[in-house]
Every structure is written in C-alpha cells, then in structure tokens.
Amino acid sequence: MNTVTNQKKVPKSVLIILYYWPPAGGPGVQRWLKFVKYLPEYGIKPIVYVPSNPNYPIIDESLINEVSDDITIIKQPIREPYKFAGILSKKKSKTISKGIIPNKKSQTVLDKLLLFIRGNLFIPDARKSWVRPSVQYLSTYIKDYSIGTIITTGPPHSLHLIGLQLKKSDNIQWVADFRDPWTTIGYHKQLKLTKAAQKKHKQLEKNVLQAADKVIVTSEVTKKEFSKITDKPISVITNGYDLLPSIKTNLDSKFSIAHIGSLLSERNPTILWQVLNDLILNQPGFAHDFKLKLVGYVSEEVLKEIDSNGLIDYLENIGYVSHKQAVENQRNAQLLLLIEIDSPETVSIIPGKIFEYMVSGRPIVAIGPKGSDVERILQETNTGTYFYYDSYNDLKRIILKHYLNYKKGNLQVQGVGLQKFSRKQLTKALAELL
C-alpha cells in the first residue's frame, strides 16, 4: 500500500535590491512593483531592499496602496549627493535628478559644472555611496535568512555593484536586471565624461555582465548589445501593463493628442510641431477641434519650440500626475504620442508607457530613430504607426486620417497579441527564470 503525504511547498525567497520604490513615482518604480506583486502567485517570496531616506525626484503616494502588507521590506540609509547639490541650485539639481538635461545651446556654466560633477565624480551614478554599507548589511542578512538568489535592477546601475560584491563573497545566484542600457544610453554623452570616466564605466559594465549568473534586459536590441560583452544567459522580459478596471473612459470632446511622461530637451519632435501648425493653418475645422495635452514634466526648450510653432494656445500642460491619473489621460485622449530621441543610442529604449498605451484602445503615433524595437512592437500588435524624423508628409497624412475618423466618430484601434505583455504573464516568465 502506497502512502502519499501532501506537503505545502515552501516559497523560494528572493532578495530584490531596488532604489525606486513607493512613494517614488515615474516609470522606474512600475516594473518591480508589479513583479513583487505577482511573484508570490508563482511560489516565490520576494524580500525587498530599498533606501530608508531616498531623494526621489518624483513622488506618487498612491502607489503605496499597491504594496502588500505581506511583503518583507528591509531598509538602510543612503547618502544622496543631490541634497548637497541643492545648495548650489535646488532647481537645477532636482531637474538633473529627474533626467531633464538642458539643451547644449542653453546650458549655463552651472549646468555644465553639475553635469561634469555628476558624470565624473559619481561613477557609475550618484547613488554609489550606498554600495559599501549595503554589502556589509546584506552579507549578514543573506547568511542569517539563507537567501539563495538576489536580483539587482538598474538604473541606478550602482545597485549592480552591490550584486557584484555580494557574488564575490556569498554562494548565491545573482540576476542583474537592466531596465535601460548602461554605457550606450542616450544621456551618457551629455554627462561630459572624461576618457578615464568613460573607460571606468565600460569596465564596470563588463564586470557586472560577466559576473552575474543571469542577465535580464527589456529589449532585443540591448540583448544583442550585451551579447558582445558576455556569454552569460540573457533573457528579454519587457515592461508591461496591469489593467485598472476601475478607471472609466470618457473620451475628450476635442481632437486631443496626448503625450504621457517627460519630454526632455533632446526629445523634442520639431517635425510634429510643424505638422500640427500646418494642419491648423490649412485643414478646415482642425484649429477649432484640436488640443495638445502634455502630461508630465516638460523642458523649457520643448515649450519654446511649441510656442514658436503657434501651438501655445492649443496646449494643455498638465504636469506630473499620479499613475492612475496618467492612465485616465491615456484612455481619454483621442490620439496618443510616443516620442523618442533621434539617436542610435535610443533604438533599444522601449518606454514603459507603450504597453499601457496599447491596451488603452487609443491609436498611437510614435516618432523615433530607425531600427527601434518600438517600431516592431507597434507593427506586431497593430496598435499604432511609427515615423522617423524625416517623415513629414507621412506623419501629416496619418494625423489627418485620424482627425477625419474622429470627425466621423470612429477613431479607434484593435490591438492583437497584447496578452503576452500583461504583468502576470511577464512575472510568470521571471519566475521560470528564477
């Protein structure tokens, strides 16, 4: 006679080392907030390690409600140089910490000084001072609680240096997650790096990629890039969407074209502003119906360009809002904008908001560099149209087409294959990797 004993499977504990965590707002917090939310459903117990006194440039208190009381969160203090930089200029230091770097032509001497300090004295980034105390604290924690797997996620890429040091001293599996590239990200060239600083960044990147047991990236382009540096397994797990069924859709009565998220100085689509000005002047009814909605931080350079193209009277500059309000604006807009810097360094960037855009039911108009992963995703999912920065006539034609459909009351889009980008599906892929 055979006897079968049913035993409840003990969850596998995984230590996740993060910088961005509620009440931090912005795109950096969403990825791991959702992974942590769903990992327990796949037999994994996440333990979150974050700073106790971070200097978050963006705050969204509403995200605290998404953190389960069952999640173990451990914290240690961090020394934030942006607080000291605020003595020189509180506004400028806070702006740079948000990633809004002034256009080269408009940079003051103080701008250049702060960028030089940020790029050359804080390698790989301004959170480097958290590495040593975190390694000291977590080395003991890992032993005391028998942690077998740790995950580091960047940027800030200094968190990968915590993983690098822990890997040297402890018998653990280390997974390095790159939400963005490291040395090839667009803003790197604007940090006024010396040759020595560039070399150090490259060496640290190589050390991390070759020491981690597994590497996760968010795009195929980044995977190809990193594959030239390491032979360690690299998995692509994109960002995604989490449906918020409680949000009601009330389409704007105007022909609203909305951009959700920061519009940095270099992310300034002059071609779009010119097309919209053209339509205002030459398309009957467009000037009456049109509204441009910007939700998020917008640089002064972008606002000046909008003004110079005669669009300021049509602009609703909403500013930063909570994540829930951002999703509301997505679903209410007639048309959604996705803008990326026209540079080879940005082809691997897949903005997190694209996935929420795709399930909003609103058509997407994207402008970016050739060879971008974004172009492929929009084509595969039938959720929008992608343009290069020299596609004036094609861009004008599509916006006019959308406007005429709006006038007929049938402006909509039917996405396909979106389920694979749901947060639950992506967390399942992460759980299998772990």
Same fold flag, 12-78+123-240+424-433 and 255-408: yes
Q: How far is CA 148 from CA 16, 36, 207, 214, 283, in A?
A: 12, 17, 21, 14, 63
As a whole number of angstroms, the distance between CA 407 and CA 402 comes to 9
- When pLDDT is cut at 50, 70 and 90, the band that residue 28 belongs to is confident
- When pLDDT is cut at 50, 70 and 90, the band that residue 85 belongs to is very low
Q: What's the sign of the alpha-carbon dihedral 224, 229, 232, 238? A: negative
Tokens at 219, concatenated = 């795009």
Average pLDDT on 143-148 reads: 94
The predicted structure's pLDDT at residue 189 = 67
- When pLDDT is cut at 50, 70 and 90, the band that residue 87 belongs to is very low
What confidence tens digit (pLDDT) does each residue in 330-362 have?
999 999 999 998 988 888 889 989 999 999 999
pLDDT of 32 higher than 90? yes
Tell me the β-bridge partners of 174.
Answer: 150
The average confidence (pLDDT) of the chain is: 89
pLDDT of 76 higher than 90? yes
CATH 3.10.640.10 fits 12-78+123-240+424-433, yes or no: no
Tally of CB atoms within 10 A around 111: 18
- Which H or E run includes 177? strand 173-178
Percent of the chain residues topping a pLDDT of 70: 89
As a whole number of angstroms, the distance between CA 246 and CA 229 comes to 45
The predicted structure's pLDDT at residue 50 = 98
255-408: CATH topology is Rossmann fold (3.40.50)
Tokens at 172, concatenated = 């653990």
Average pLDDT on 404-429 reads: 95
Parse the chain into domains and list their residue ranges: 12-78+123-240+424-433, 255-408
Q: What is the DSSP letter of 386?
A: E
Tokens at 35, concatenated = 């992974």
What confidence tens digit (pLDDT) does each residue in 223-278 have?
999 999 999 999 999 999 987 666 667 899 999 999 999 888 888 999 999 999 99
